[in-house]
Amino acid sequence: MTQNREIPAQTGHIELPRIEPDAGMSKTLHNGLEILELLARTPNGLSVSEIAENLGVHRTVAHRLVRTLEAHRLCRRDDHKRISLDTGLVALAESVEQDLRTLARPILEDLADSVEATAHLVVRESDTTVRAMMVIEPRRSDVHIAFRPGQVHPLDRGSAGLAILGSLPPRPDERPEVTRARRMGYAISAGEVVSTTIGISAAVPSRAGGTQAAIGVSVFEADDETRLASAVMSAASALGELLR
């Protein structure tokens, strides 16, 4: 009988990086996007005055920006005149993520079945976080790990984040595990996200400016690290080819 170990979902606010506009940017568009990022950090919503104060603009300017975002269903106003994100953002995000999920699903299914372990696709959310976009359990295995997609974890903890960092240029303050991932082509971590779980992940090659993502597996033991790593790297390479 197959046994699943369920890992509870983790929630929390995502800290989005603050971007300073330069001469080549549209200040109006920049302010509008900053409102969306601000609302993403404030699930209970903000008043127009609070938005104006956070952006450092006049209340009239904030009001016009909010009205424009409302017209595109990117934010909405409740009965107490507090502004929060609206469903238009979901439609925009789904079109991008659906393409990635569609391409990744058969690759993850093959990976999960070939190593008889749970496979996952993790994407970078911000400068500090990653999110499990897709989780595929093996169809034939005695024991495997089960957890829900959508979990958010620190970028510098867990094999997926380490693999993504390892695909980027070296930094003087990076963890030794990131340096190793860059050299080996995959990252391995034990108990960094869940205490009893070992993760092995490889970054998905992508065009410059493309999605930063990693494919990996979650196992209880990694006695055959070389075989698992080879399967993970092959899967990541296959998805990268489709994304070119």
Structure tokens at 236: 């990541």
Q: How confident is the model over 14-20, as a mean pLDDT? A: 54
Q: How confident is the model at residue 1, as a pLDDT? A: 35
Whether 198 and 213 have beta carbons less than 8 Å apart is answered as no
Would you list the domain boundaries of the chain? 27-86, 91-243
Q: How far apart are CA 231 and CA 237, in angstroms?
A: 10
Domain spanning 27-86 has what CATH number? 1.10.10.10
Nearest to 129 by CA among 180, 164, 81: 164
CB 111 within 8 A of CB 121: no
What are 204's two structure tokens?
Answer: 């998905």
pLDDT level of residue 90 (50, 70, 90 thresholds): low
Distance, CA of 203 to CA of 161 (rounded, Å): 9
Q: Looking at residue 207, what is its pLDDT?
A: 56
Residue pLDDT, tens place only, 48-70? 999 999 999 999 999 999 999 99
Whole-angstrom distance, CA of residue 22 vs CA of residue 14:
25
pLDDT on residue 5: 44
C-beta atoms surrounding 94 within 10 Å = 11
Residue 145 CA to residue 147 CA, distance in Å, equals 7
What pLDDT sits at residue 60?
Answer: 96
The region of weakest confidence among 23-37, 96-110, 198-212 is 198-212
Count of residues making up the chain: 244
Left if phi > 0, otherwise alpha if psi is -120 to 50, otherwise beta: which for 115?
A: alpha
Can you identify the CATH homologous superfamily of domain 91-243?
GAF domain (3.30.450.40)
- pTM (2 d.p.): 0.63
Residue 235 and residue 240: Cα distance in Å, rounded?
Answer: 9
pLDDT per position as a tens digit, 141-192: 777 777 777 888 899 999 999 999 999 889 888 999 999 999 999 999 998 8
From the number of C-beta atoms within 10 Å of its C-beta (0-12, 13-18, 19+), residue 193 rates as buried
- CB atoms under 10 Å from CB of 45, counted, come to 18
Number of C-beta neighbours around residue 50 at 10 A = 16
Q: What is the mean pLDDT of residues 30-56?
A: 89
Instruction: Decide: residue 29, CB within 10 A, 0-12 exposed, 13-18 middle, 19+ buried.
Output: exposed
Interatomic CA distance for residues 223 and 228, integer angstroms = 9
Q: Coil, strand, or helix at residue 121?
A: strand
Q: Which of 82, 74, 77 is nearest to 37 (CA)?
A: 74
Between CA 176 and CA 129 the distance in angstroms is 19
